[in-house]
C-alpha cells in the first residue's frame, strides 16, 4: 500500500503571534515594524524555530516578547554583541536585532560600528523615533537641534547622529531606511535585509506619538521619497549613497542606499566554521591538546 508524506506546514501570521500583547502606546510606529517583520518572515517562509530576535533596552527593545521566535532581551546597548555570539555559535539561524536610536546609537554606538566592520551576518532594525521614549522623553542621539525635551527644555544643542552615513562609513554591506507608515516598502526592505549575506542595517522612522510631536507621521509623509522611484540611482555606488544620506529637509530618502556582496561574512571568513555551525559539532578539546596546553603552563 502506497504511503504519502504530509506536506510541510506553511508558516502563517498566527504562528508568529507572541504570548504577550504589545504594550506600546496606541499609534506607536513600532506596531508597524512588528507587523512588517511578521509578514516578511511569512513571505520568506522562514520557520520561526530558525529565527532568533535579540534586543537591548527601550520601548522597541521589548520586541522579542511580542513575536513567537527564539529571543533574548539583553543589556542596554549590548544587543549586537550578544547577536554576534549567537550567529557564530549557529550561523544557520536567521538573526534579527531590534532596538531604538538611544539603545543603538547612544549606549550601543561602539558595538554598532564594530559589528558593521566585522560584517556579521544579521539584520539590525532600529526603530528610530528620535527620542528616549521608555524613560519618558529625553533627547536622543538622533533628536534634531532645537528640539525641546525633558532633558533639554530650552532646546537641544547637540548635533544629531546621521545613522545612514555612519553605517556607510563603518563598512555596512547593506544600508537601508524605511518608514513604518510605508508598510509595503518596509516589508520588502526587511526581506532583502534578511536575504543579504552580511551586516544589514535598516533604520526605520517609527514615530513616538507620546513624546515626540515634532517628527510625526504627518511630518514625515510629505518628505519621505522612495529611492527606487529614482531610476538613475545606483545602490552599488558608495559615493552616491553617501550623498543621498546627507539629504534632510523637504526630501528625506527611504529605501536601499547601498549594498555590496563581495565581502565575506564574519562566520564565512572563519575557517573553523567551514564544517558547519559549532552547535552541531564536537566542541570537546582532544586530550592530547589539553595535556600539551597544561604542560605549557606548568
**Which triple of cell numbers denotes residue 156?**
537641544
pTM beyond 0.75: yes
pLDDT level of residue 180 (50, 70, 90 thresholds): very high
Q: Find cell 538611544 and name the residue.
A: 102
pLDDT at 170 over 70: yes
pLDDT at 239 over 90: yes
Burial of 297: CB neighbours in 10 Å, binned 0-12, 13-18, 19+? exposed
Q: How far apart are CA 151 and CA 288, in angstroms?
A: 60
249-296 pLDDT, tens digit per residue, is: 999 999 999 999 999 999 999 998 888 898 888 878 889 988 999 999
CB 10 within 8 A of CB 45: yes
Q: What angle do CA 19, 24, 29 make, to 5 degrees?
A: 115
pLDDT at 4 over 60: no
The CA radius of gyration of the chain, in Å to the nearest whole number, is 21
- Residues 14-40: what's their mean pLDDT? 96
Q: What is the pLDDT of residue 285?
A: 84
**Superfamily of domain 13-269 in the CATH hierarchy:** Thiamin diphosphate (ThDP)-binding fold, Pyr/PP domains (3.40.50.970)
* Sequence-ordered list of residues with C-beta below 8 angstroms from that of 296, at least 6 positions apart, any chain: none
**Which triple of cell numbers denotes residue 28?**
506607536
Bridge partners of residue 256, in order along the sequence: 176
Q: How far apart are CA 216 and CA 223, in angstroms?
A: 11
- Residues 131-158: what's their mean pLDDT? 94
CB 66 within 8 A of CB 22: yes
**Mean pLDDT in the chain?**
95
CA proximity to 281, closest of 273, 289, 269, 271: 273
55-89 pLDDT, tens digit per residue, is: 999 999 999 999 999 999 999 999 999 999 999 99
Task: Please give the share of the chain, as a percent, with pLDDT higher than 90.
Answer: 91
211-224 pLDDT, tens digit per residue, is: 999 999 999 999 99
H or E stretch at 49: none
Q: What is the pLDDT of residue 136?
A: 93
pLDDT level of residue 7 (50, 70, 90 thresholds): low
Angular region, 77: left φ>0, alpha ψ -120 to 50, beta rest: left
CA proximity to 197, closest of 254, 276, 268, 99: 268
pLDDT level of residue 6 (50, 70, 90 thresholds): low
Amino acid at each position: 500500500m502506497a504511503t504519502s508524506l504530509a506536506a510541510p506546514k506553511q508558516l502563517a501570521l498566527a504562528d508568529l503571534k507572541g504570548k504577550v500583547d504589545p504594550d506600546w502606546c496606541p499609534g506607536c510606529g513600532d506596531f508597524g515594524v512588528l507587523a512588517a517583520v511578521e509578514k516578511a518572515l511569512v513571505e520568506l517562509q522562514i520557520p520561526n524555530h530558525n529565527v532568533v530576535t535579540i534586543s537591548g533596552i527601550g520601548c522597541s527593545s521589548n520586541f522579542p516578547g511580542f513575536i513567537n521566535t527564539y529571543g533574548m532581551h539583553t543589556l542596554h546597548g549590548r544587543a549586537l554583541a550578544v547577536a554576534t555570539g549567537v550567529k557564530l555559535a549557529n550561523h544557520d539561524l536567521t538573526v534579527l536585532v531590534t532596538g531604538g536610536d538611544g539603545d543603538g546609537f547612544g549606549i550601543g554606538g561602539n558595538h554598532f560600528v564594530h559589528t558593521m566592520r566585522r560584517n556579521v551576518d544579521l539584520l539590525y532594525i532600529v526603530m528610530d523615533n528620535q527620542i528616549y521614549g521608555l524613560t519618558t522623553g529625553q533627547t536622543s542621539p538622533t533628536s534634531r537641534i532645537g528640539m525641546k525635551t525633558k532633558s533639554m527644555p530650552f532646546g537641544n544643542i547637540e548635533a544629531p547622529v546621521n545613522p545612514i552615513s555612519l553605517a556607510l562609513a563603518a563598512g555596512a554591506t547593506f544600508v537601508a531606511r524605511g518608514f513604518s507608515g510605508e508598510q509595503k516598502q518596509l516589508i520588502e526592505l526587511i526581506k532583502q535585509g534578511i536575504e543579504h549575506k552580511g551586516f544589514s542595517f535598516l533604520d526605520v522612522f517609527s514615530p513616538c506619538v507620546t513624546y515626540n510631536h515634532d517628527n510625526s507621521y504627518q511630518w514625515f509623509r510629505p518628505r519621505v521619497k522612495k529611492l527606487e522611484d529614482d531610476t538613475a540611482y545606483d545602490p552599488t555606488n558608495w559615493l552616491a549613497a553617501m550623498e543621498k544620506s546627507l539629504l534632510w529637509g523637504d526630501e528625506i530618502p527611504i529605501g536601499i542606499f547601498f549594498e555590496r556582496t563581495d565581502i565575506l561574512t564574519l562566520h564565512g571568513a572563519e575557517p573553523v566554521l567551514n564544517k558547519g555551525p559549532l552547535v552541531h559539532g564536537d566542541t570537546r578539546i582532544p586530550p592530547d591538546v589539553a595535556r600539551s596546553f597544561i604542560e605549557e603552563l606548568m
